[in-house]
Structure 1
């Protein structure tokens, strides 16, 4: 009994020293290249949560020169939406190991999944899409996009008048 009491006193003394400060979710905001390099998603605050939109596509236009559309969406009424600028991540809140609790949409599969986001290697995040349990999900590593990335959601630059188009 004496040893038990001594052990409890020792824990009482070192417990506060081992307590961690309040959890702060890592910063995962910014523009990230998807693992396959086919797109980039900008993650930003949306109130007290995070959301993300497609801001770059390797192939922004279809074979007819039209913007790529959400043609694989299970909801037929959504198939005409342009991919560029589309929200593909929403409702993600600080969690125990990073960010969680929201959803991610995969335009290639036309499906929405639960999502968790955690820091990865340097300048990378791990995005896990799953149904049910995160342990059975698919984890993908996204890398920070270069600052020079030409965004597909940016408004077109105004056309400059050439010397032949000036009116006197």
Structure 2
């Protein structure tokens, strides 16, 4: 039996329980209004907005973080903004970090789990994950026109609140 499991592991047909599934890539949000790139950020994962359906406001200016509870952060452009950080391998995928919802101007705990080959479930919650809101994100097309200036996600430095 041990040889069978070792063989399956070698072929990649079974993964060890401690290995978190890969959820990196560019994902379209459930409402189709944006795309978030999830990428390694140190020992964890971070996420940054890389596409917006409506990247400009009524004055042809980049859409800003106008709902942020911190008044000093309301002038930040949404495109390129870090909206997820500190997400680490957990028991059922990735967890332990935070996610920021620009529409609500609020930050939540987050858990991410794969949902097939081209989808993930992103759950934002306060306190207990079971009472959170689960959103289904789908992998974005490779031809997606990015709105951010940086082609890849970089580790954040000194970002107090998003």
**Under TM normalisation by the shorter chain, which class is it?**
0.7 to 0.9
- Find the counterpart in structure 2 of residue 130 from structure 1: 125
Structure with bigger helix share is 1
- Find the counterpart in structure 1 of residue 114 from structure 2: 119
- Find the counterpart in structure 2 of residue 23 from structure 1: 18
Counterparts of 2:97 and 2:135, CA distance in 1: 16
Give the ranges of 4+ consecutive aligned residues of structure 1 lying more than 2 Å apart after TM superposition.
Answer: none
2:47 is equivalent to residue 65 of structure 1 = no
Structure 2 unaligned segments of length 5 or more: list them: 6-14, 151-162
**1:88 paired residue among 83, 90, 108:** 83
Q: What RMSD over aligned residues (CA atoms) do the two structures have, in Å?
A: 1.8
- How far does residue 29 in structure 1 lie from its aligned partner after superposition? 0.3
Whichever of the two has the greater Rg, that structure is 1
Q: How many residues align?
A: 140
Report the 3-state secondary structure (helix = DSSP H, G, I; strand = E; otherwise coil) of the residue aligned with 2:86.
strand
Structure 1 unaligned segments of length 5 or more: list them: 1-13, 156-168
Residue deviations 1:2-42 (CA, integer Å, cap 9, x gap):
xxxxxxxxxxxx9xx99x83510000000000000000000
**2:34 paired residue among 12, 33, 39:** 39
- How far does residue 154 in structure 1 lie from its aligned partner after superposition? 3.4
Residue deviations 1:49-79 (CA, integer Å, cap 9, x gap):
0000000000000000000000000111100
- How far does residue 135 in structure 1 lie from its aligned partner after superposition? 0.1
Counterparts of 2:83 and 2:89, CA distance in 1: 18
- Find the counterpart in structure 1 of residue 134 from structure 2: 139
- Find the counterpart in structure 2 of residue 7 from structure 1: none
Counterparts of 2:113 and 2:16, CA distance in 1: 19
Report the 3-state secondary structure (helix = DSSP H, G, I; strand = E; otherwise coil) of the residue aligned with 2:76.
coil
